[in-house]
Amino acid sequence: MSDSNKLSVIELFAGVGGFRRGLEQANADLFEVVWGNQWEPSRKSQDAFECYVRNFDKGIHSNEDIATVPDDTFQELAPDIVVGGFPCQDYSVARSLSGGKGIQGKKGVLFWEIKRILENGNPKYVLLENVDRLLKSPSKQRGRDFAVMLATFRDLDYTVEWRVINAAEYGFAQRRRRVFIFAYKNGLSFEKQQKELDESCILFKEGFFAKSFPVEKEPFKNRIEMGNLPEDIVKISDEFSFNFHTSGIMRKGYIYTAHLVPELKKPITLSEILLDEDLIEEKYYLAPEAEAKFKYLRGPKKIERTSADGHKYHFSEGGMSPIDELDKPGRTMLTSEGSINRSTHIVEVNGRKRLLSPIECERLNGFPDNWTAGMTDRMRYFCMGNALVVSLIEIMGKRIEEIETTANDKLTEIQMNFSI
């Protein structure tokens, strides 16, 4: 159990600890990660977990399949907050012969593990991160997966806010778009305060995200949708679809969602995160043959292909700049960073083209230099491609602190009035 003056945190699917790093940067005296889980299935080498252990020395470090962790572990931990960047999977729900609800197939199990942890840990707050396509998936039933998630939170008595955030639009070094989901337990002081506001006021001005990531007063091209989730989560899985926009709120099953326009901040540019060239090892510079391959991969192309049933078609791909512009923030970094791949960053400095070094990739995500030192370059790139922008979590951590401080101030005021 944690100190009563701290907020105890469980970090799920922790990777190299981006959530924890961000929260500790926000206030290391307030946020106490009591249990962090990172496990890479089907891999003998657990590089991310080893990195996590090297960088954090407090709390329990769990390197086990989350599905094998018993319910009573979370009951005993009783966290205030659960955080994690969970995999985007299949959220189908089915009804068993006995009438119970279950999982259709195995792909959706990790989100249902989050549900199990919330049921047993009963946290006040939940902060999750995922790719923004979650809001639109699956393509054949648009919005179903996110609706299943929202219904799950509704049934567990949470209100949910979400926002798609591009880190570069709020001043950081990477054009990385991710959806962040903040859920808070109904009955908390924050929920009671928010309940007095209408949904548009929450999204545009007073909500969890709007306070820290300000937006323009009007949505993009008046894109606003409203609706209600069906009571039966199986019906949602089977039939429901919805046009979720980049921001929204769900309370008691009612959905209000809008496509918001951020108030832009000047981003950090690639040139600002680059190491001095005398610190760059020769292996990161492109040999002529690699340079030729990248030129082809990043150039326009039209290729004839044959499908499995023998049908011939043309695959077309537009061109992109042969090098990344140094006066702009980096593009979204993928797990294939550093390989000969169209998405890999290529910078040209002093007339020579090269890859980003692992340290520069760490800087794109806001980690300290050499955070992932100790593993191979390939794994350092992979871990940074999987990571989030730490500074965004720092901002969200400060917002949670503000919410908690406001709640405590109101409690103190009530206690003082009662004692008079």
| Domain match, 90 and 137 both | yes
Is residue 355 in some structural domain?
yes
| Domain match, 326 and 184 both | no
Work out how many domains the chain is built from and give that number.
Answer: 2
pLDDT tens digit sequence for 138-147: 989 999 999 9
Q: What per-residue confidence (pLDDT) applies to 258?
A: 97
Token duo for residue 369: 């230099």
**Residue partners of 196: CB distance under 8 A and separation at least 6:** none
Count of other CB atoms within 10 angstroms of residue 384: 28
Give dist(CA 349, CA 299) in Å, integer. Answer: 21
Q: What per-residue confidence (pLDDT) applies to 90?
A: 63
Domain of 287 in residue numbering reads as 270-386
Token duo for residue 337: 């960073």
| Domain match, 299 and 216 both | no
Residue 84 main-chain phi, psi, to 5 deg: 170, 150
Give dist(CA 260, CA 174) in Å, integer. Answer: 20
Is 88 catalytic? The answer is yes
| Domain match, 260 and 326 both | no
**Which strand (E) or helix (H) includes residue 62?**
strand 60-62
Tokens 């009783």, residue?
78
Ranges of residues in the chain whose predicted pLDDT is under 50? 1-2, 96-100, 102-107, 411, 413-416, 418-420
pLDDT tens digit sequence for 257-304: 999 999 999 999 999 999 999 999 999 999 999 999 999 999 998 888
Is residue 401 in some structural domain?
yes
**Long-range interactions of 40-46: CB distance < 8 A, separation 24+:** 41/65, 45/379
The per-residue b/e assignment along 158-176, b for 16 or more CB within 10 angstroms, e otherwise, is: bbbbbbbbbbbbbebbbbb
CATH number of the domain that residue 284 is part of: 3.90.120.10
Compute the mean pLDDT over every residue in the chain, rounded to the nearest whole number: 91
Q: What per-residue confidence (pLDDT) applies to 165?
A: 98
Q: What per-residue confidence (pLDDT) applies to 109?
A: 67
The CB-side HSE value for 54 (13 A sphere, CA atoms) comes to 14
Is residue 418 in some structural domain?
no
| Domain match, 201 and 350 both | no
| Domain match, 322 and 354 both | yes
Give dist(CA 213, CA 205) in Å, integer. Answer: 9
| Domain match, 100 and 202 both | yes
Q: What per-residue confidence (pLDDT) applies to 98?
A: 45
pLDDT tens digit sequence for 363-419: 999 999 999 999 999 999 999 999 999 999 999 999 999 999 887 655 454 444 544
| Domain match, 139 and 236 both | yes
Q: What per-residue confidence (pLDDT) applies to 301?
A: 84
Q: What per-residue confidence (pLDDT) applies to 130?
A: 95
Q: Could you give the percent of the chain with pLDDT greater than 90?
A: 81
**In the chain, what's the furthest Cα-to-Cα distance?**
85
CATH number of the domain that residue 22 is part of: 3.40.50.150
